[in-house]
Homo-oligomer: A and B are copies of this chain.
Amino acid sequence: MKKGSYVSILGDGGWGTALSIILYRNGYKVKLWSAFEEYARFLDKKRVNSKFLKGIHIPYDIIITSNLKEALDFCNTIILAIPSQHIRGVLNRIKKAYLQEKVFLSVVKGIENRSLKRMSEVIYEELGNVNLAVLSGPNISFEIAKSIPSVSVVASKNSKIARYFQDILMNDHFRIYTNDDVTGVELGGSLKNVIALACGISDGMGHGTNTKAALITRGLVEISKLGKAMGAKKETFYGASGLGDLVTTCVSPHSRNRFVGQEIAKGRKLSQIIDRMDMIAEGVFTTKAAYSLAKKYKVEMPIVSQMHSVLYQGKSSSKALKDLMLRKKKSE
């Protein structure tokens, strides 16, 4: 499984598109699957994903299709790049295919609200014991597509699978680290979105870099506490898929979750904000899941708890931020 491998990317979002372009550049045969026939035709004709990855040309050798069977038959390697809310639907459509010889990479972020399961758990549940790794890191799709120097993390219980994806994804501009802590890598990539919402609120209130740094630092503390309670390694949260991704999401002007926070700070209602967005702000759902997980594992998560009050209990964002600052004196 080296040069010459056939890779199908399931999902037509910004990240799926950027990954298809990287793999094409790295010398692989690539198919990009969209769930929407009309949008697949549009992508194939225009060769720009104008909804999710503006201004980036999609090479003609990347085959675009909305035929799921065609995408599956074509490849030995499948990248799952579908929003968490829709992943079960797609997994259900592919579970009857013969998948044992295929290798899967999940780049899906989020936690299922109903079951509180991570995405790899959902995938195993639906597909059985497939060959699986997950990818997560400080990776804004547009920058990856532009070959801006970036790092990321591939995690798998099976080190061979992790190294396989390290091999096919890594190039001069994209440095991949392997890790065996799947739980930690998935949680870091999901929970960061709650802290990004808090950073958005802080930005919307006109606060500065100091406040953002405080939210990032204390956010990482509570995320890693929850992660440890859930069986992840603490160190993972201080690596590229934890700290790195958290910083990117809290700082980037492109972050959807930060945007939602900013709008909330301006006094707009969550439902109004979401209605007007083209893309999905995962953090809105993840806040609910994180709040439930904190209760389940009895971990104190002050930022998650305040964000939950703001999003779902009508608490004012200025009161929430004040309550965070006024907690009792502590050592680190």
Binding site for B on A (CB under 8 A): 138-140, 143-144, 146, 148-151, 153, 166, 170, 172-173, 175-180, 202, 207-214, 216-218, 220-221, 235-236, 238-240, 243-245, 247-248, 251-252, 321-322, 325-327, 329-332
Contacts and interface: CB of A to CB of B under 8 A. Distances in A.
Given A148-B210, A210-B143, A217 B244 contact: yes
Q: Which 10 A-B pairs have the closest CB atoms?
A: A138-B213, A150-B210, A217-B244, A143-B208, A151-B214, A213-B248, A213-B244, A177-B332, A178-B331, A239-B332
A153 B238 CA distance: 19
13 contacts: A143-B210, A143-B211, A148-B208, A151-B213, A170-B329, A172-B326, A176-B329, A179-B332, A180-B331, A216-B244, A217-B240, A217-B244, A220-B243
Contacts of A179: 331-332
Given A143-B210, A149-B321, A173-B325, 10 more contacts: A138-B217, A149-B325, A151-B218, A170-B329, A179-B332, A209-B252, A212-B251, A217-B240, A217-B243, A235-B332
Given A239-B332, A240-B332, A332-B178, A211 B149 contact: yes
B153 A332 contact: yes
Contacts of A178: 329-332
Given A149-B325, A325-B172, A332-B240, A138 B210 contact: yes
A171 to B, nearest CB: 9
A173 B329 CA distance: 13
Given A176-B329, A332-B178, A207 B245 contact: no
A247 to B, nearest CB: 5
Contacts of A213: 138, 151, 240, 244-245, 247-248, 251
A166 B329 CA distance: 8
Contact of A148 (B143, B172, B173, B207): B207
A220 to B, nearest CB: 7
Nearest to A243: B217
Contacts of A151: 210, 213-214, 217-218
A210 B248 contact: yes
A150 B210 CA distance: 5
Contact of A322 (B172, B180, B207, B216): B172
A216 B243 contact: yes
